[in-house]
Amino acid sequence: SQQGEEDPQALSIQEGENATMNCSYKTSINNLQWYRQNSGRGLVHLILIRSNEREKHSGRLRVTLDTSKKSSSLLITASRAADTASYFCATDGNDYKLSFGAGTTVTVRA
Amino acid sequence: EAQVTQNPRYLITVTGKKLTVTCSQNMNHEYMSWYRQDPGLGLRQIYYSMNVEVTDKGDVPEGYKVSRKEKRNFPLILESPSPNQTSLYFCASSSDSYEKLFFGSGTQLSVL
């Protein structure tokens, strides 16, 4: 069952700008994770935020989690060409499965 | 180096010809999983395994088999592939089903 849904589907920004994408989910979670995928390659884990956390930072990444709204956001600050990729949120449930959304495709223009 | 190794990277086959995609991890992870990725559909889970000899269906298990005889290996078997199984496949592992997943590089499968 696909639980997380990213928004927008695609995003195009200028180098140096910030990129924000959102993830909404339907049922209660233990953790929410964000992954990056470069063109057809394997996904790379970016950050995990637990249900009792509200915000987490990792380098230029900032993730927020609002369990009352069942939503999360990923902010990439001062974007670079290398940030061009697809970004996926993944949520767990009570069924030992990690469900991925369809992703947000981010293009950073030079 | 910690990694998940999938083989082959690319595979073209014909309908009905049995194939196996191998997956191996060197991190002593208990949890392993297979996903397929199709345009616009994100990643969908095929099968997962919580430990040796423990496997369970994901969201799209039809037409696939798996086995977990050793902790490090989790092969995906297509006994009679069909064109609708043309997809990009990923194997992943983690220390626990809710924790950070490590992904393989993917297998692009085309069934003609």
Q: Encode A28-55: b = buried (16+ Cβ within 10 Å), e = exposed.
A: ebebbbbbbbeeeebbebbbbbeeeeee
Q: Report CB contact under 8 Å: B4, A90.
A: no
pLDDT value of residue A40: 80
Closest CA to B27 of B78, B109, B91, B86: B91
- Tens of pLDDT along A4-38? 788 999 999 999 999 999 999 988 888 999 999 99
A21 to chain B, closest Cα gap in Å: 16
Q: Report CB contact under 8 Å: A44, B104.
A: no
Q: Rounded mean pLDDT of A78-107?
A: 89
pLDDT value of residue A96: 66
Q: Which residues of chain B have a pLDDT value below 50?
A: none
CB A55 within 8 A of CB A66: no
Point out the residue among B41, B99, B104 whose CB comes nearest to the CB of A102: B41
